[in-house]
Amino acid sequence: MRVFKFGGASVKDAEGVQNLIKVLQKVGHADTIIIVSAMGKMTNALEAVVENYLNKNSEFGDSLELIKTYHFRILEDLFNNIQHPVFEKVTSLISDLETMLKRNKSARYDYVYDQTVSYGELISTTIVSEYLSEKGYANTLLDARDVIKTNDHYRDATVDWEKTQQLIGNKAIKKGLTITQGFIGSDSNNFTTTLGREGSDYTAGIFAYCTNATSVTIWKDVPGVLNGDPRVFQNTELLSQISYEEAIELAFYGASVIHPKTLQPLQRKEIPLFVKSFVNPKNEGTSVRKGQSLVPHMPCFIVKKNQILLSLSSLDFSFIVEENISEIFSLFHQYHLKVDLIQNSAISFSVCLDDKFHNFDQLLVHLKAKFRVRYEKNVSLFTIRHFTSNAIEFLEDNMDILLKQSTKETYQMVAKQ
């Protein structure tokens, strides 16, 4: 079995879906599980539906209409025959979504979010599966929620590996071509859950682990993993081979080309991960596998935007000791703030935080009761793996630096955006 993942950018329009077939023609499609994300920016568009719905905004209807028109445009471009059953299937998914929202009584944002946003993947996989069938590629459409079981931590669900392994092993994967959704799963009450934004890569890792796949390929709009995000840095270069450990480090520091959770299941079974271009599928791209840490060996630049730099000191200038630190961390955990960098001295403690769930202001109330608190929002965290003095000089040029830190292999700096 091989696992392929096509992200939102690769299926953002009809041409993208047609290109997916071209990729399969070039690289083969026997015994392949294809994980597909929501088309284009549909997850963001569905997030807007959730906001409008819960806040009872007048834009609610328009935001839902946008989801319909986006997908119908793609359908019309792909299928000449308006009688094709796919039109009915997508219409019925959208009316399921409308009915679900009408009947819903919960005001819990995270729960409503997962029940809604998952439609992006449900619709995209329906379209891709029908289009493949239409073009003669027999395939099975699998509902990922029937096999990926999680806890009920909506928007950031944790996989129940035992149940998932059992379900995938038992029934899910037939020989041939299987299409399924990235990003989504279900809890023990069969409510839909999601694995965190950009979680489709992780789904690919889960399926690969549970089927003992020979490889995973994620198809991207870039030639592979580069030594920096090409949207941010100029003259980036392709990394041809990366070890699992190094890739985990790069993803952890924020190289958004691979979702950080994807690598661990692959590493455990030494399943190679390829990151390749969906435009030039025959090109080598990057392979993540056991072996040399980084080929070619060079500095890698990573930036994480919209972070918060928080500094705490004790109200009476006493030391910040283990007890305080453990209390601070349990608050971070409680409010789901991710800690990206830590620096502490005798009387102060600084961290760079990622507030994915917008809980920082609630956290502040607790912290202010016990500590002197300073913070700066909207800062960027820059990381250079395998830094050189030239690389640091290049990065620091024209930056308003708030904090820096380096270890043997990793240089980090927090700067104003």
265 makes contact with Mg ion (CB under 5 A): no
- The dihedral over CA atoms of 328, 109, 356, 189, expressed in degrees to the nearest 10, equals 80
- Residues with Cβ within 8 Å of residue 183, at least 6 apart in sequence: 37, 38, 43, 118, 121, 194, 195, 199, 200, 202, 203
Q: Write out the residues near ligand ADP by the rule CB under 6 A.
A: 7-10, 37, 198, 220-222, 225-226, 228-231, 255-257
Closest approach of ligand ADP to the CB of residue 105, in Å: 33
Which of Mg ion, ligand ADP, ligand ASP, none sits in contact with 231, Cβ below 5 to 8 A by type? ligand ADP
Q: Which CB atom, from 198 or from 340, has the smaller least distance to Mg ion?
A: 198
Question: For residues 6 and 274, which CB has a smaller minimum distance to ligand ASP in the complex?
Answer: 6
User: Does the footprint of ligand ASP cover residue 241 (CB under 6 A)?
Assistant: no
The answer to whether the CB of 382 falls within 8 A of the CB of 412 is yes
The pair of structure tokens assigned to 270 is 């030494």
Contact call for residue 182 and Mg ion (CB under 5 A): no
Residues in the chain: 417
**Residue 182 or 265 with smaller CB distance to ligand ASP:** 182
Residue type, 404: K
Q: How far is the CB of 233 from ligand ADP (least distance, A)?
A: 9
Q: For residue 274, what are the CA distances in angstroms to 170, 257, 292, 300, 406?
A: 27, 12, 15, 18, 30
Smallest distance from the beta carbon of 279 to ligand ADP, in angstroms? 12
Q: Which has the closest alpha carbon to 1: 187, 142, 131?
A: 142
Among residue numbers 200 through 239, which ones bind ligand ASP (CB under 6 A)? 200
Which 336-375 positions form the footprint of ligand ASP (CB under 6 A)?
A: none
128 sits in which H/E element: helix 119-134
Give the integer Cα–Cα distance in Å for 72 and 123.
11
- The least CB distance from residue 43 to Mg ion, in Å, is 8
Q: How far apart are CA 215 and CA 271, in angstroms?
A: 5
Using the contact rule CB under 6 A, the part of the chain among 160-168, 196-204, 221-229, 262-270 near ligand ASP is: 196-204
Site for ligand ASP in 52-71 (CB under 6 A): none
Sites of contact with Mg ion (CB under 5 A): 7, 198
Sites of contact with ligand ASP (CB under 6 A): 7-8, 37-38, 43, 120, 182-183, 197-200
